[in-house]
Chain A
Amino acid sequence: MSALLVIDRLQVRYDSRDVLRALSLEVARGEIVALMGPSGAGKTTALRAVAALQAFDDGRIVVDGFGLTPGPVPPESRLRALRRRVGLVFQAHALFEHLTALDNVTLALRHVLGQSRTDADAVATKLLSELDVGGRAAAWPRQLSGGEAQRVAIARALAPDPALLLMDEPTAALDPARRSALGATLRRLCEQGRGLLVATHDAAFAREFADRAVNLST
């Protein structure tokens, strides 16, 4: 099976200190890979480099045929193909505070993919229901609990149907019941043929739900 994501000897330096040194990993379609390591090990940095939010100094990143090279982050106009392939769920969720849960999900469908309001609403409603937050579609972000906000953020990242989903510390704010539910959701997503790269320091969660784990040390 060809790899969806290839990270090859990725190196990121801050003020001449290596945050990431020669990180290499692959994620295949239908696979959950856990990126493990203590705080400060560079897990978030690696995800941000893959999502082209962060420059890197050496190495190579290829997402489904789209390559990123060392040096400054390219302008958005040259990243369109990457944006269609990669979704990112932030640890803080980063929902748009002026929009309802539903509109958080439809915004990219309408304004990036050019779908009609009706079509976008249908896609978003379905996604929110699948993630068990269908009843919260009209809620404002600050009215959502941590778990609800996370699922709305997942729905928003999935809306453009990316093949690769990146998640940063998804279990950080969840109780045990919610952790299991999230694990089940992630498994379902990868059964749809997506690849998932999940940065986490939660070893139990990784053991239970990930196919493989890659360890980063400081």
Chain B
Amino acid sequence: MTVQILSLAVALSMQHGQPRVLVWGGDAEGGAPFVEADPADPSRVRGFDVEVADRIARGLGAGPTARFVQVQWSNIDQSVERGDFTLGLSGVEDTPARRARHAVTLPYFEFREVLAVRPDDQNRIHDLGDLRGRRVATLGATIAYDLLIAARDSTGMIPVSFDDDVHPYADLVAGRVDAVLLDHIIAQRALRRMGGRGFVILAQPVAVGHYVGVLARADSVLRDSIDAVLREAMHDGSLEQIYRRWSVWDDSQGVLFERILRTGAAGAAGTPGRSASTVPAQVVAYLPSLARAAGVTLLVSTLSMTLAVFVGLALASGRLYGSTPLRILTTAYIELIRGTPLLLQLFVIYYGLSGVVRLPALLAAVLALGLNYGAYEAEIYRGALEAVSRTQLEAARTLGFSEAQILRLVRGPQALRYALAPMTNDFVALLKDSSLVSVITVVELTKQTAIYATNVGSWIVPGALCAIVYLAMSLPLARLARRLERRWGGRAA
């Protein structure tokens, strides 16, 4: 006991040189009731996870409150191992993989994975089995996502992964997806936010899971102390008070508390999830999904570049040959696109336009990337066309060619040669920029890698694999461009 208290004191005092303060990490973007910025004082956070953290801090004798560190939800495990904070909270799910890699507290909250559907569908859809061929949304790298992936193979439904837990419900109401599978707290919050309309939550849960705190693997002694504090909080009713304050108390929490206090041990992580296994086995297991994601990356990039080439040609022609209003218009487009973030353009096309036209995610991704890169291509083509010497164009005029013939026979072919190298560079850049489209639910290579990394709890192997696949796509392109340049350059050199 003395040893335990001593090591606890060391663990607490070592956090950022501030003794006796519990530093915990969570994602305030996840919002209430877990963690959210306090509307009265946005520099502070509030939520039931905040109060749980404070209760743990008090129980450990580490001051009246714990100190909060903001971290992206999907990076909590990585950050806690790096030592960014001691304890990760905020809807962290209990999975076998997490237990195998980190020190995990006992479950302090029981959640249900529930399906949300549009009111019209509530008599037809009762469980995952009724969603054959339908699109079902959830948050990436969660138990719910794993449930959907498992169901994809058995029922043929289409999982759609989001980076946040707000847009799945917005897309459900908008008709882009047919159901959402997520934690009941998140579903109820979304329903409240929409004034109780737009979708219904099915009563029958698909699965049950638990929230836990996560600590670095080496912090198992501190974890045991936190478990003791949690048991005490379950026993003295302080945890129930917190849950009631945040309206998340229900009978199943009472049953969970009773079971934990009775057994004196954590309830088994009875939720699905990938179990930790050896590296080669992981690679083999994830290779098909990485290959599929690489295919999506290649498809999105190729279609976007094709669109960008046509848009670029049209814009460059407008700028060089158009009337004054057309020149002003094309210049304005090019400056607007190049002067605003691609991410913003993606959101505007996918979410902003959804009131007017409801584009499928893949089409929206191709449109956004193609329209964006088109502006850059236009400048490349304009520069290339202007690089063809004026006297050659005049020589062509004295020979009697029309303007259109000059463009087709003299100016265009030479400009193409000048444009080839920068176009290839742009395509390689596009290949990488296509990773941005994961924010509108397209699971491409980088997103799939992030999911993989979250599941196995390490970025090393997934990161290396992902890099290899990107290089395998971009290096041959660069080679091809060099060969073409040599061949065409040779003709003129």
| Bitwise interface map of B from 385 to 406 toward A, beta carbon under 8 Å scored 1, else 0 | 0000101101111111111010
Q: Is A97 an interface residue (CB 8 A)?
A: yes
Distance from B395 Cβ to chain A, minimum over Cβ atoms (Å): 4
Residues from 39 to 98 in A contacting B, C-beta threshold 8 Å: 51, 53, 76-77, 80, 83-84, 86-88, 90, 92, 94-98
Q: Please determine whether B395 and A98 come into contact, CB atoms closer than 8 angstroms.
A: no
Q: Is B491 an interface residue (CB 8 A)?
A: yes
**Residues of chain B with a CB closer than 8 A to A141's CB:** 492
Q: Is B413 an interface residue (CB 8 A)?
A: yes
Most chain B CB neighbours (cut-off 10 Å) among A80, A98, A140, A159: A98
**Residues of chain A with a CB closer than 8 A to B185's CB:** none
| Bitwise interface map of B from 261 to 298 toward A, beta carbon under 8 Å scored 1, else 0 | 00000000000000000000000000000000000000
Q: Is A156 an interface residue (CB 8 A)?
A: yes
Distance from B359 Cβ to chain A, minimum over Cβ atoms (Å): 41
Given A53-B397, A80-B400 in contact, is the A94-B392 Cβ separation under 8 Å?
yes
Query: Which of B394, B397, B399, B409 lies in contact with A160, CB distance below 8 A?
Result: B399
Q: Please determine whether B409 and A107 come into contact, CB atoms closer than 8 angstroms.
A: yes
Q: Is A181 an interface residue (CB 8 A)?
A: no
Distance from B56 Cβ to chain A, minimum over Cβ atoms (Å): 73
**Residues of chain B with a CB closer than 8 A to A9's CB:** none
Query: Which of A83, A140, A142 lies in contact with B398, CB distance below 8 A?
Result: A83
Residues from 369 to 396 in B contacting A, C-beta threshold 8 Å: 389, 391-392, 394-396
**Residues of chain A with a CB closer than 8 A to B423's CB:** none
Most chain A CB neighbours (cut-off 10 Å) among B391, B398, B409, B491: B398
Q: Please determine whether A111 and B398 come into contact, CB atoms closer than 8 angstroms.
A: no
Q: Is A102 an interface residue (CB 8 A)?
A: no
Most chain B CB neighbours (cut-off 10 Å) among A95, A96, A111: A96
Given A90-B391, A107-B409, A111-B409 in contact, is the A98-B399 Cβ separation under 8 Å?
no
**Residues of chain B with a CB closer than 8 A to A97's CB:** 392, 414, 492
Q: Is A108 an interface residue (CB 8 A)?
A: yes
**Residues of chain B with a CB closer than 8 A to A84's CB:** 400
Given A140-B491, A140-B493 in contact, is the A96-B392 Cβ separation under 8 Å?
yes
Distance from B255 Cβ to chain A, minimum over Cβ atoms (Å): 80
Q: Please determine whether A86 and B492 come into contact, CB atoms closer than 8 angstroms.
A: no
**Residues of chain A with a CB closer than 8 A to B400's CB:** 76, 80, 83-84, 108, 112, 160
Given A98-B492, A140-B493 in contact, is the A76-B397 Cβ separation under 8 Å?
yes
**Residues of chain A with a CB closer than 8 A to B391's CB:** 90, 92, 94
Q: Please determine whether B395 and A90 come into contact, CB atoms closer than 8 angstroms.
A: yes
Q: Is B67 an interface residue (CB 8 A)?
A: no
Q: Is B410 an interface residue (CB 8 A)?
A: yes
Q: Please determine whether B398 and A87 come into contact, CB atoms closer than 8 angstroms.
A: yes
Number of interface residues of B (CB under 8 A): 23
Number of interface residues of A (CB under 8 A): 29
Q: Please determine whether A111 and B401 come into contact, CB atoms closer than 8 angstroms.
A: yes
Distance from A94 Cβ to chain B, minimum over Cβ atoms (Å): 4
Q: Is A5 an interface residue (CB 8 A)?
A: no
Chain A residue with minimal CB distance to B410? A96
Q: Is A157 an interface residue (CB 8 A)?
A: yes
A157 to B398, CA, bound (A): 8
Distance from A194 Cβ to chain B, minimum over Cβ atoms (Å): 15
| Bitwise interface map of B from 401 to 428 toward A, beta carbon under 8 Å scored 1, else 0 | 1110100011001100100000000000
Distance from A165 Cβ to chain B, minimum over Cβ atoms (Å): 11
Most chain A CB neighbours (cut-off 10 Å) among B414, B417, B492: B492
Q: Please determine whether A88 and B493 come into contact, CB atoms closer than 8 angstroms.
A: no
Chain A residue with minimal CB distance to B408? A111
Chain A residue with minimal CB distance to B415? A98
Residues from 150 to 174 in B contacting A, C-beta threshold 8 Å: none
| Bitwise interface map of B from 474 to 493 toward A, beta carbon under 8 Å scored 1, else 0 | 00000000000000100111
Q: Please determine whether A98 and B413 come into contact, CB atoms closer than 8 angstroms.
A: yes
Q: Please determine whether A98 and B398 come into contact, CB atoms closer than 8 angstroms.
A: no
Distance from A144 Cβ to chain B, minimum over Cβ atoms (Å): 12
Residues from 345 to 387 in B contacting A, C-beta threshold 8 Å: none
Chain A residue with minimal CB distance to B492? A97
Query: Which of B392, B394, B401, B488 lies in contact with A112, CB distance below 8 A?
Result: B401
Name the 10 nearest CB pairs between A and B, nearest first. Answer: A83-B400, A94-B391, A108-B399, A94-B395, A112-B400, A88-B398, A97-B492, A98-B413, A98-B414, A94-B392
11 cross-chain CB contacts under 8 A: A76-B401, A77-B402, A83-B398, A88-B398, A90-B391, A90-B395, A107-B409, A108-B399, A140-B492, A153-B395, A160-B399
Which residues of B does A touch, CB under 8 Å? Answer: 389, 391-392, 394-403, 405, 409-410, 413-414, 417, 488, 491-493
Given contacts A76-B400, A90-B395, 16 further A-B contacts (CB under 8 A): A51-B398, A77-B402, A83-B399, A88-B398, A90-B394, A94-B394, A95-B395, A96-B392, A96-B410, A97-B392, A98-B410, A108-B401, A111-B405, A140-B492, A141-B492, A159-B399
